[in-house]
Every structure is written in structure tokens, then in C-alpha cells.
């Protein structure tokens, strides 16, 4: 999935914004969202504590009006 954010990629601000966005959309705490890889890259892999890939995808798609399911 692609996520576009406005936060600059300086001093971890973009990573913080991504974690906050995902936590809000998924209904979890920010601490539950962690980077598996790519913290310093445009391409990132995240894990969310307590959610498997299918549940994560379902929650994200439900949070976006008009998203393809």
C-alpha cells in the first residue's frame, strides 16, 4: 500500500507521521506500530502488534471512503 504524507523526512518526522496515521486508522496505540525495515528509506515495512496482515489490510480499507476492497 502507498501512503503519502506531508511531513518532511527530517529528524524522524515522516516516520512519526506514518506511525500516527496508521495507529489512528487502525485503532491501536502509536507504540503498537513498529518499523520492521526501511526506517531510513522511502519503502517501509511495518508490523502492528496484535494484527495480522489480513486484519491490518481490512481495517485500513474500511477507514478509507471509496477504497477498493
Separation between Cα atoms, residue 41 and residue 57, nearest integer Å: 22
**pLDDT recorded at residue 5:** 82
- Asked, for residue 33, whether it belongs to a domain, the answer is yes
Task: Note down the domain range covering 21.
Answer: 13-63
64 or 61: which carries more pLDDT confidence? Answer: 61
- Asked, for residue 34, whether it belongs to a domain, the answer is yes
- Asked, for residue 1, whether it belongs to a domain, the answer is no
Render pLDDT for 12-63 as a digit per residue (tens, 0 to 9): 889 999 999 999 999 999 999 999 998 888 888 999 999 998 999 899 888 8
Separation between Cα atoms, residue 11 and residue 50, nearest integer Å: 28
- First-to-last alpha carbon distance for the chain, in angstroms, is 13
- Asked, for residue 2, whether it belongs to a domain, the answer is no
Spatial contact of 58 and 38, defined as CB atoms under 8 Å apart:
no
- Asked, for residue 32, whether it belongs to a domain, the answer is yes
Separation between Cα atoms, residue 15 and residue 44, nearest integer Å: 9
Looking at the predicted structure, is the pLDDT value of residue 8 above 70? yes
Spatial contact of 60 and 25, defined as CB atoms under 8 Å apart:
yes
User: How many structural domains comprise the chain?
Assistant: 1
Amino acid at each position: 500500500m502507498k501512503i503519502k504524507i506531508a511531513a518532511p523526512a527530517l529528524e524522524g518526522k515522516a516516520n512519526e507521521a506514518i506511525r500516527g496515521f496508521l495507529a489512528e486508522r487502525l485503532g491501536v496505540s502509536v507504540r503498537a506500530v513498529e518499523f520492521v525495515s526501511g526506517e531510513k528509506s522511502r519503502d517501509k515495512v511495518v508490523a502492528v502488534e496484535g494484527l495480522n496482515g489480513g486484519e491490518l489490510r481490512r481495517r485500513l480499507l474500511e477507514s478509507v471512503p471509496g477504497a477498493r476492497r
